[in-house]
Amino acid sequence: MSTTPSKTPQAIRGTQDIFGTDAEAFAHVVETFERIRRLYRFRRVEMPVFEKTEVFSRSIGETTDVVSKEMYSFEDRGGESLTLRPEFTAGLARAYLTDGWKQFAPLKVATHGPLFRYERPQKGRYRQFHQIDAELIGSPEPLADVELLVMADHLLKDLGISDGVTLQLNTLGDVASRDAWRAALIDYFRGHKAELSEDSQDRLERNPLRILDSKDPRDKVFVGDAPKIDAFLSAEAQDFFAAVTAGLDAAGVAYERAPSLVRGLDYYRHTAFEFVTTRLGAQGTVLGGGRYDGLMESLGGPATPAVGWAAGIERLAMLVADAGTLTEAPLTVVLAVEDDAALNYAQKVVTALRFQGLDAEMVATGSARKRFDKAVKMGAKVLVSFGVQDGVPTANLRAAEPTAEYLAVEQVLQSVHP
C-alpha cells in the first residue's frame, strides 16, 4: 500500500496570519482606540459576524460594488440568505432599530473586529480585514459631527501617525440640496456620456455622484468642471457645514475642503470626510465616514439622524510600524532556576510578580549549569537566581542598582516564602 505525503495546508488567498511586531502594532491600534473611545464616553458593543443578507443589500445598496461583487453570502440549512459582514454601520443600524437601543439616544457606540469582502488583495487590504468603528446615532446637531472628527484626529495623534495625514472635508447638503445637485450632475455628464468610462456611463442615471470619485482618467477630464455642491446648498445646509468647520477650528483640528469627496448612496447627508495619506500607495484613505441621516428609513425604521466613521486596523498598524514609534519594552524580571529543588519556590515568586504587575520570565529547563547564562542574555532589568542552601530553596536578587523595579521585586521576595 503506497502513501502520498500530505501537503501542508496554505492560508486562503487574501487572508493573513499576524505575528511578532505586526501583531504588536495591531494590538497597539486596538488598545489606543479602546482608551480614546472611553475618553469620549462611547459604549463598547459586540456585533454578529453574519447578518441576514437584506441588512446589507438594503442599507449599502443593491447596485453598489460591495453588494453586487464583494459580499460573502450563503444560504444556511434553513434556506435563509446570510452574509458575512462587509462593514459595521448596517448591523449597528439594525441593532438600534430591533434591540431597543433607541431609548439611549443620542447613542454613542464603538466596536472593532473582522470584516469580509471579496476583492483584489493589495497593500494593507485583505479579504478578511479588521476595522475600528465609532457611531453617534440620534443626534441631528453638527456638534455630533465635530465630536467624531475630533475623536478621530485625537486617535491618529495618539498613535503617532498624524504627520502626513490630511483631513479632507466636504458637505453633501440636506435632501433638497443633494437632489438639486444630483439633477445638475446628470444634466452635465449626459453631455459627455460617450466619452466617460463604461462604469460611469452605467452610473450616470442611477448614481452620478460616484462619477466624481472615479479614478478612471477618462472621467477625471470632466470632473473638474462638474457642478459643485456649494451652488445648490440651502441656507440650512450652509449653516450646518459652517457649524462643523467652526467646531473643528475651535478644537484645533486642521482640514482642507475636498469638493469631489462624495458618498454615492442617497441616505448620506451633510458632512463627508476622509483622513488621507500618500504613505499607503494608491489606496490612501486611513479613516473615513460621514453623516447618514437616511439609513434607518432604508431599513424600515423612523427617520433617525446619525454620523460615524471607520478605519482599517491593518492600515493604521502599517503606519504605526513605519513611524517606528512602537518599541518592545525590555523584560523587567528574569528568574534563573539553577537547582530543580528550588523550582516550586521560583514558581510561587514568578506568579506573585505577575500579580503585582511585573512582567517576568522563568528559565527552568535545559542544562542547570547554563540557565544562569541564558537568563543573563535575556537582558532583564532585574535577575533573580534560585538555588538550594542547606536543603532550603533560596533566592538571590541581582541588579546593577536599586531601581524601582529592584525594590518592587525585593518586596515580593520578602512576602513569598519557600
Secondary structure letter of residue 271 according to DSSP = E
For residue 308 the three cell numbers come to: 460615524
Is there a cis peptide before residue 217, judged by omega within 30 degrees of 0?
no
d(CA 113, CA 313): 9
How buried is 21 (Cβ within 10 angstroms: 0-12 exposed, 13-18 middle, 19+ buried)? middle
* C-beta separation of 241 from 270 below 8 A: yes
Phi, psi angles (nearest 5°) of residue 79: 85, 10
Identity of the residue numbered 39: L
Residues in the annotated binding site for L-histidine: 87-89, 117, 131, 135, 263, 267-268
| Number of other residues whose CB lies within 10 A of the CB of residue 249 | 12
d(CA 97, CA 127): 29
Identity of the residue numbered 375: A
d(CA 158, CA 156): 6
For the chain, the residue count is: 418
With cell 473611545, the residue in question is 37
Residues in the annotated binding site: 87-89, 117, 131, 135, 263, 267-268
d(CA 133, CA 152): 10
